[in-house]
Amino acid sequence: MRTIRITGTGSALPGRIVTNKELEQMVETSDEWIRERTGIGERHVSVGETVVTLASEAARKALEQAGKRAEEIDLILVATSTPENVFPCTACEVQREIHAEHAAGFDLNAACSGFLFALQTAQAYIQAGIYRTVLVIGVDSMSHMVDWSDRSTCILFGDGAGAVVLRESKGGLFVQAAHSDGAKGDVLTGCSRHRKNWDHPDEAKAAYIQMDGQSVFKFAVRRVPEIVEELLEKARIQKEEISYFFLHQANRRIIEAAAKRTGVDISRFPMNLQEYGNTSAASIPILLDEWNKKGLLKKGDKLVLAGFGAGLSWAGSLLEW
């Protein structure tokens, strides 16, 4: 059976770092509160960078590591909920930037779960024999979506991009699961900032992220362990065989609770949210790139990746490195 293997990773972050201390000057909050409730210490915010420049930089690095030229890419899939424009899509703009002339490309939006949905779409194309080499990018500029006067949301998010190059592989492992619950979508919303509220100009404020934090927290803590269990069952392997669980980097307490419910030591749940906050679709590929660059991933390692977010949506993949 055809499956996929990640042959290169890359990431890019804006230069401007906003610390919790700096946020103390903007809203009524404290470094101590943010660290205790979320684990976040700072985040990167775009000043000059765009989702296209960040995604292109991450893509170039991933291609370099994979030893591939841009012309060899068959498909570019970009997971984002914060595109610069509704069209052209970010994937086409990245194609232009990196000169991937032979690639097709499109964007996909499943908010913070987007990278996993894109990875699974890539696997389906490869498995169907349609494409052989796919560039999957998760990128978001959440700083454009948050209301910087709302302390309950602005402390959580950051900007960034992560990319992986996927190749067809004979053998190896790739098991996937994805779910959506649109009926509960109201607990986390963000409206397109391009929308003109012709009839209801007051609704323009809905462009910002609106969130019932506790409901989202409970959703994540319940659904992440469930999907991990589902992946393990599908793959017929034990949790002890998994080297690392790369979860969406939203909140340290969510990851700790998921680790506890899964019955796995927290040391196998890599984290970098202290430095980047929640970078939405970018969080998992950025983390994967960091672990890869640190040389912490060995060929044959079995990894679980799991994301969750607005939709509501949650998705996971179990794959072999």
Catalytic site residues?
A: 112, 248, 278
* Out of 59, 139, 155, 288, the residue judged to bind ligand COA by CB under 6 A: 155
Q: Which candidate, 33, 288, 292, 27, places its Cα nearest to that of 160?
A: 288
Residue 239 found at the interface with ligand COA (CB under 6 A): no
Contact in structure between 232 and 225 (CB atoms under 8 Å): no
Minimum gap (Å) between residue 242 Cβ and ligand COA:
22
Integer CA distances (angstroms), 14 to 17, 52, 195, 230, 264, in order: 8, 12, 26, 36, 33
CB nearer ligand COA, residue 217 or residue 245: 217
Is 38 a binding residue for ligand COA by CB under 6 A? The answer is: yes
Nearest-angstrom CA–CA distance, 59 and 57: 5
**Residue 95 Cβ vs ligand COA, minimum distance, rounded to whole Å:** 28
Number of residues that bind ligand COA (CB under 6 A): 19
Report 245-274 residues binding ligand COA (CB under 6 A).
250-251
With the CA atoms of 189, 140, 19 and 247 taken in that order, what torsion angle do they form, in degrees rounded to the nearest 10? 80
CB of 88 to ligand COA, least distance (A): 27
Nearer to ligand COA, 66 or 254 (CB): 254
Q: Which of 59, 66, 112, 228 binds ligand COA (CB under 6 A)?
A: 112
Nearer to ligand COA, 131 or 276 (CB): 276
DSSP string, 63-99: HHHHT--GGG--EEEEE-S--S-SSS-HHHHHHHHHT
Residue, CB closest to ligand COA = 213
Closest to 13 in 3D by CA, of 162, 180, 153: 162
ω into 88 cis (within 30 of 0): yes
Radius of gyration over every alpha carbon of the chain, rounded to an integer in angstroms:
19
Q: Which is nearer to ligand COA, 37 or 239 (CB)?
A: 37
**Site membership for ligand COA, residue 152 (CB under 6 A):** yes
Q: Which is nearer to ligand COA, 29 or 210 (CB)?
A: 29
Residues 285-304 within binding reach of ligand COA (CB under 6 A): none
DSSP E strands, the chain: 2-12, 16-19, 42-45, 75-79, 104-108, 133-141, 159-170, 174-180, 188-189, 210-211, 242-247, 302-309, 313-320
Q: Which positions from 204 to 233 touch ligand COA by CB under 6 A, shown as an x/- string?
A: -------x-xx-xx----------------
**Is residue 172 within 8 Å of 319, Cβ to Cβ?**
yes
- Residue 148, interface with ligand COA (CB under 6 A)? no
Return residues touching ligand COA (CB under 6 A). Answer: 29, 33-34, 37-38, 112, 151-152, 155-156, 211, 213-214, 216-217, 250-251, 278, 309
